[in-house]
Amino acid sequence: PEPENTIYVFDEAHHLPHVARDHASASASLKGAAAWLEKLNQSISKFSSLADEKRVARFRNDLQDSVQNLIPALTQLTKQFDPAQFEEGIYRFEHGELPTWLENQSKELKQFSKKANQSVAKIADLIAERVKDGELAARLAEPALAELGFYIQRLENLAQVWHLMAE
């Protein structure tokens, strides 16, 4: 038949549940996140030393507090799941409802990861500001800013995971 007299059907609807689910999703490895948070925890003083001490102190303290709460919480969380309940490495909650203990934990992790993300971003801003003002050589700041950028991306993702879990 002629194209103008034809109805075309594209059967791709079977992809819709995955597309809809993945559209508003985020994921993070609990053990992996604890590992890179530990590295961040060890580097906080190094990063802070590149910023103005008076202005960075609050953000450094907030970051240390958040990271030092996140690491044990994520580590403990890995022990609270029964690996036998995973299918192909995925754990699904019946009817999409979290158990009360996980809902409460998610709310705490949401706050800690959000605060850590904000603090790292602010420390990076303070370092960049010192470079812009000529108080710090770019060659000293650039490696730290690159590393902080890496942590900012990871913390944004971690914050998104716990934001979605707490909703």
Has residue 152 been placed in a domain? yes
Lookup result for tokens 């034809």: 6
The whole-angstrom distance between residue 59's C-alpha and the CA centroid of its chain comes to: 18
Q: Is the pTM of this model over 0.95?
A: no
Has residue 9 been placed in a domain? no
Is pLDDT above 90 for 151?
yes
Element (H, E) at 127: helix 100-132
Q: Which residues contact 84 (CB under 8 A, 6 or more apart)?
A: none
Has residue 116 been placed in a domain? yes
Quote the crossing angle between the two packed helices 100-132 and 53-79, to the nearest 10°.
Answer: 150
Has residue 142 been placed in a domain? yes
Has residue 5 been placed in a domain? no
Has residue 20 been placed in a domain? no
Torsion sign, CA atoms 20, 104, 63, 68 = negative
Which band of pLDDT confidence, cut at 50, 70 and 90, is reported for residue 8?
Answer: confident
CB-CB contact of 59 with 126 (8 Å): yes
Domain of 71, in residue numbers:
28-166
Q: Which residues make beta-bridge pairs with 65?
A: none
CB-CB contact of 119 with 66 (8 Å): yes
CA distance 155 to 130: 23
Has residue 69 been placed in a domain? yes
Give pLDDT tens digits for 12-51: 766 666 666 666 678 888 899 999 999 999 999 999 999 9
Q: To the nearest 10°, the Cα dihedral for 67, 70, 71, 74?
A: -160
Has residue 104 been placed in a domain? yes
Count of domains for the chain: 1
